[in-house]
């Protein structure tokens, strides 16, 4: 621990001197609404950062804002990389572990990279706007954000630095014998043309069913049943490395799926492709689980994926409808519908129904295992190219149009010849891995901002408890009745309905101190005087839940006069006193 502090001081000193050199002169700047005009930490949000890059930005944020951000490693990846977590809150106000928490992570799938930048943007934005924005100031006084930009740093670096497609690798990098022949990773993709991209292979063929699009020579189109083609497609760049007659069948790019490794409705790999050994058998998901178990104040959570423009809730398991009960779905619906407004092109969907059945996913464990309202956003949608919905029309070539007129053909590798050991003369070409699922640079910041706004709305609506009114009534004989109304002014209850069903989190405690409580009771109906007494420990009344946008009333019969304090203590709802 001591060592860590030293490191922080050292890095803080370093970045302060770096800042002096790079910060803009305040006189030269005119503030654009809603963005920090002269941030202490400057970050370009139109590009991607590998794990070392993320590490540096995290350290800079923590060093520049010691009273708003703390950095810790919540565990190590399989290859030993730190999984960084930024805790963002107003550390001068209250105990961070007792504030309702919002957990955000990204990049669980290696190639779904921009979740890390979106998460980091959130940490950066909260810390940089705190000074000037009253809403953010109040938010960080009440709430705490736990931001883990990448929970899959090995996979992230592998995606950037190894030859890949936009869709690979999906998994982390623990080797697996996918074809079960006793050898691991003996036949993966081959970067035949050595450009760090895995592209498509095509070959001239008299019987091929493809031809070149006359309107864009980069594009292959399928010919109709009465037409003749002149090309065949041979799949992704690779060869039969192990001589078993199959190409690319056991590579490192799909070992397992980290998002099928979570402890709610987990199923083995013959039911759920990609499941590893057992829930949390991967070090990265285990680190996140351990962190969440140690932070029962986490009330809301967000994980970032790509792509498709979706705000997803569970269940992933089609047989698990019962877990997502109507009361909780109301909360899910309100927040996600707001999300649809805030992020144009994104739709609120349900995993198993609108996407596919997925067992043992992260969002299902957060909610099913811990009772935390959780969404996964599938970042990037073709809608963002021309602000209109993409079509499934085979003639729709908007990808190519977008690349041509807005990216100036930077996203495509032109077809070029290659002499293949098994296929003979072929051509290699296609979209680069940074196009199709990852945002193009100029759209990265704006979509990060919109998605962040959604998570802020989510965090804002974690419970906010207050001891509203306290009234007294003299009962004679030195006894008096004290009645307290506790309010929750946000949408989320202190316990989701699923939590209540399994008693996942302990009850909320409403306590009186400073006087002797002779009796304590929950007031079910104040007007009709219907109460339920708690016979033991009357000074600390246990209530199962404090519902959203609602109140709970408790009453004590107390002896003695003098000042007393009434306090409420809820794991997910935070603390308040009067």
Partner 1 sequence: MMKRIGAYLLCMLCYNSITAQTGYSNFAQQSNRINALAKANPQWVKVKSITKTTGGKDIWQITIGSGNTESKPAIAVVGGVEGNMPLSSELAIGFAENLLQGINSDSIKNLLNKTTFYIFPNMSPDAMEQYFASLRYERQGNATSTDDDRDGKSNEDGYDDLDGNNKITWMRVESPIGTYRVHPNDPRVLIKADASKGEKGTYLVFTEGKDNDKDGNFNEDAEGGVWFNKNLTFKHPSFSQGSGEYPASENETRALLDELFDRFNVYAVISFSSNNNLSTPLSFNPQAATAPVLAGWLMPDTKVNSMVSDLYNKTVGLKDAPASSANGGDLLSWGYYHYGRFSFSTPGWWVPKTKPDTAKNEKAFTVEDATANYLRWASQQNIGNVFTEWKTIQHPDFPNQKVEVGGVDPFVMQTPPFSLVPDLVKKHSAFIVKLAAAQPEIDIINVQTEKLANGLTRITLDVINKAALPSHSKLGERSYWVKRINVKVNNSSSQSIISGKKIQLLNALEGYSSKQLTWLIKGTGKVTIEAGSPTTGTKTIEVTL
Catalytic site residues? 378
Is residue 424 within 8 A of residue 203, CB to CB? The reply is yes
Number of Cβ within a 10 Å radius of residue 225 = 5
Q: Could you say whether residue 568 binds partner 1 (CB under 8 A)?
A: no
254 vs 564 by CB, closer to partner 1 = 254
CB of 541 to partner 1, least distance (A): 13
Asked whether position 74 contacts partner 1 by CB under 8 A, the answer is no
Number of residues located near partner 1, criterion CB under 8 A: 41
Residue 243 binds partner 1, judged by CB under 8 A = yes
DSSP-derived pairing of the beta strands 298-306 and 373-379: parallel
HEC letters along 160-171: HHCCECCCCCCC
Q: How far is the CB of 429 from partner 1 (least distance, A)?
A: 31
Residue 418 CB, shortest distance to partner 1, in Å, is: 25
User: In the bound complex, what is the minimum distance in angstroms from residue 466's beta carbon to partner 1?
Assistant: 22
Q: Which residues of 395-407 are buried (b: 16+ CB within 10 A; e: fewer)?
A: eebebbebbeeee
Q: Is 278 in the site for partner 1 (CB under 8 A)?
A: yes
Cβ-based nearer residue to partner 1, 122 or 285: 285
Residue span binding partner 1 (CB under 8 A) among the ranges 27-35, 88-96, 101-109, 279-287: 279-287
Q: What is the 3-state secondary structure (H, E, C) of 62-92?
A: HHHCCCCEEEEEEEECCCCCEEEEEEECCCC
| Residue 161 binds partner 1 (CB under 8 A) | no
* Shortest distance, position 111 Cβ to partner 1, whole Å: 21
For residue 269, count other CB atoms closer than 10 A to its CB: 15
Give the 3-state DSSP-derived string for 486-549, with helices as H, strands as E and coil as C.
EEECCCCCCCCHHHHHHCCCCCEEEEEECCEEEEEEEEEECCCCEEEEECCCCCEEEECCCCCC
Q: Which is nearer to partner 1, 42 or 267 (CB)?
A: 267
Closer to partner 1 by CB, 68 or 554: give it.
554
- Shortest Å, Cβ 320 to partner 1: 10
Of the residues 39, 169, 369, 574, which one makes contact with partner 1 according to CB under 8 A: 369
* 249 makes contact with partner 1 (CB under 8 A): no
| Residue with Cβ nearer partner 1 (439 or 495) | 495
The dihedrals phi and psi of 575, each to the nearest 5 degrees, come to -125, 155
Tokens (6 digits) for 181: 């022949």
| 366, β-bridge pairs | none
C-beta of 510: minimal distance to partner 1 in Å?
Answer: 14
Give the span between the Cα atoms of 252 and 190, in whole angstroms.
11
Q: Per-residue contact track with partner 1, 191 to 230, x per CB under 8 A?
A: ----------------------------------------
Which one of residues 175, 217, 235, 268 is an interface residue with partner 1 (CB under 8 A)? 268
Residue 279 binds to partner 1 (criterion: CB under 8 A): yes
131 vs 506, beta carbon nearer partner 1: 506
Asked if the bond preceding 15 is cis, omega within 30° of 0, the reply is no
Closest CA to 274 of 348, 343, 172, 190: 172
Choices 265-273, 299-307, 428-436, 483-491 (CB under 8 A): range interacting with partner 1: 265-273
Residue 398 in tokens: 């908007």
Helix or strand run (H / E) with residue 144: strand 144-148
Among 1, 32, 33, 535, binds partner 1 (CB under 8 A): 535
Q: Which helix H or strand E contains 301, and what residues bound it? A: strand 298-306
Q: Hey, what are 197's tokens? A: 């991209």
What residues numbered 502-531 form the site for partner 1, per CB under 8 A?
Answer: 502-504, 506-507
Is the omega angle on the peptide bond into residue 140 within 30 degrees of 0, that is, cis? no
- Residue 386 tokens, joined: 């021309």
Using CB under 8 A as the binding rule, whether residue 357 contacts partner 1 is answered as yes
Pattern 166-195, binding to partner 1, x per CB under 8 A? ----------xxxxxxx-------------
- Residue with structure tokens 């005087």? 529
Distance CA 387, CA 468 (A): 47
Closer to partner 1 at the Cβ: 399 or 534? Answer: 534
Instruction: Identify the residue among 242, 341, 414, 533 touching partner 1 (CB under 8 A).
Output: 242
Q: Which residues bind partner 1 (CB under 8 A)?
A: 176-182, 242-245, 263-264, 266-271, 277-281, 289, 293, 318-319, 357, 359, 365, 368-369, 502-504, 506-507, 535-536, 542
């Amino acid at each position: 621990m001591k060592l860590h502090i030293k490191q922080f001081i050292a890095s803080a000193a370093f970045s302060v001197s770096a800042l002096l050199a790079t910060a803009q002169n305040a006189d030269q700047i005119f503030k654009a609404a809603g963005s920090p005009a002269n941030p202490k930490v400057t970050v370009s949000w139109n590009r991607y950062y590998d794990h070392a890059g993320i590490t540096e930005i995290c350290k800079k944020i923590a060093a520049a804002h010691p009273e708003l951000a703390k950095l810790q490693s919540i565990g190590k990846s399989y290859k030993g990389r730190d999984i960084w977590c930024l805790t963002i809150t107003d550390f001068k106000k209250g105990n961070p572990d007792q504030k309702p928490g919002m957990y955000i992570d990204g990049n669980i799938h290696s190639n779904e990279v921009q979740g890390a930048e979106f998460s980091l943007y959130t940490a950066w934005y909260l810390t940089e706007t705190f000074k000037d924005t009253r809403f953010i100031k109040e938010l960080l006084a009440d709430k705490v954000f736990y931001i883990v930009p990448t929970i899959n740093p090995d996979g992230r670096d592998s995606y950037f630095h190894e030859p890949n497609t936009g869709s690979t690798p999906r998994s982390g990098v623990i080797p697996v014998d996918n074809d079960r022949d006793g050898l691991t990773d003996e036949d993966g993709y081959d970067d035949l043309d050595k450009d760090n991209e895995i592209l498509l292979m095509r070959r001239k063929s008299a019987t091929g069913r493809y031809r070149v699009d006359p309107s864009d020579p980069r594009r292959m189109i399928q010919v109709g049943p009465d037409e003749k083609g002149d090309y065949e497609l041979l799949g992704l760049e690779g060869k039969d490395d192990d001589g078993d007659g199959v190409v690319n069948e056991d590579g490192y790019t799909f070992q397992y799926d980290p998002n099928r490794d979570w402890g709610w409705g987990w199923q083995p790999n013959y039911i759920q492709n990609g499941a590893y050994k057992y829930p949390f058998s991967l070090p990265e998901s285990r680190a996140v689980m351990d962190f969440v178990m140690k932070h029962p104040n986490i009330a809301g959570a967000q994980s970032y994926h790509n792509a498709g423009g979706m705000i997803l809730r569970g269940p992933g398991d089609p047989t698990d409808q019962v877990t997502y009960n109507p009361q909780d779905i109301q909360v899910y619906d309100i927040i996600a519908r707001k999300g649809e407004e805030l992020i144009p092109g994104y739709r609120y969907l349900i995993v198993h129904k609108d996407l596919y059945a997925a067992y043992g996913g992260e969002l299902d464990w957060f909610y099913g295992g811990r009772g935390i309202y959780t969404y996964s956003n599938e970042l990037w949608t073709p809608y963002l190219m021309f602000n209109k919905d993409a079509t499934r029309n085979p003639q729709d070539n908007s990808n190519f149009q977008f690349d041509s007129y807005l990216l100036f053909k930077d996203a495509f590798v032109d077809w070029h010849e290659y002499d293949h050991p098994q296929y003979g003369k072929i051509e290699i070409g296609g979209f680069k891995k940074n196009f199709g699922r990852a945002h193009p640079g100029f759209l990265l910041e704006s979509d990060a901002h919109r998605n962040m706004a959604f998570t802020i709305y989510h965090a804002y609506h974690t419970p906010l408890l207050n001891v509203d009114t306290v009234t007294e009534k003299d009962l004679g004989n030195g006894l008096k009745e004290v009645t307290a109304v506790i309010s929750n002014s946000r949408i989320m209850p202190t316990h989701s309905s699923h939590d209540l069903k399994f008693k996942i989190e302990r009850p909320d405690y409403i306590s009186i101190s400073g006087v002797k409580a002779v009796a304590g009771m929950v007031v079910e109906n104040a007007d009709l005087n219907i109460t339920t007494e708690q016979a033991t420990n009357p000074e600390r009344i246990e209530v199962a839940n404090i519902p959203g946008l609602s109140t709970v009333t408790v009453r004590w019969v107390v002896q003695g006069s003098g000042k007393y304090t009434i306090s409420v203590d809820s794991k997910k709802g935070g603390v308040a006193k009067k």
